Amino acid sequence: MKSLPLLITTILLSSLVTTAHAAEAYLGQFLYQYDGGSVYRVTVKEAKSMSWLCIKGDEKGAHGVETPERFAVADKVYFATWVEKTGINVTQVINLNTMKVYSTIIDGKQRYVISGNIVREK
């Protein structure tokens, strides 16, 4: 896989990039199972918002409703970014072909880069 900075640059500069307002493949309910053991249930019911709930890990019980910006990178591959009400910045590459998620979380001066598997629930 390309490095994340190169992937982001490719996304932003490509003339073929189109906004993916929750394409059909992106709609549904998913488990994001991160390598460190945290598990989040992510639900996307419509184009402009998504909800999440931490069901396992240090943040168990934490939840939110977000309005991410989403871009289709390729068939069933998406780049998403949002700022949570707590001020935490999140960016993700969601690959529904390989069922992998790559996330960068920025909380103040702390940055976390994590990856994991995606399981479709609905």
What's the rounded mean pLDDT across residues 87-94? 96
3-state secondary structure 39-108: EEEEEEEECCEEEEEEEECCCCCCEEEECCEEEEEECCEEEEEEECCCCCEEEEEEECCCCEEEEEEEEC
Domain at 4-120: CATH code:
2.40.128.20
What's the rounded mean pLDDT across residues 29-51? 93
What's the rounded mean pLDDT across residues 79-91? 95
pLDDT of 86 above 70: yes
- Domain coordinates in residue numbering, the chain: 4-120
* 7 or 98, which is more confident: 98
Q: Kindly report the pTM of this predicted structure.
A: 0.78
What's the rounded mean pLDDT across residues 29-55? 94
What tens digit of pLDDT does each residue of 21-35 get? Answer: 445 667 899 999 999
pLDDT of 46 above 90: no
Mean pLDDT of the chain: 85
Indicate the range of 42-51, 52-61, 102-111 predicted with least confidence. 42-51
What's the rounded mean pLDDT across residues 6-15? 44
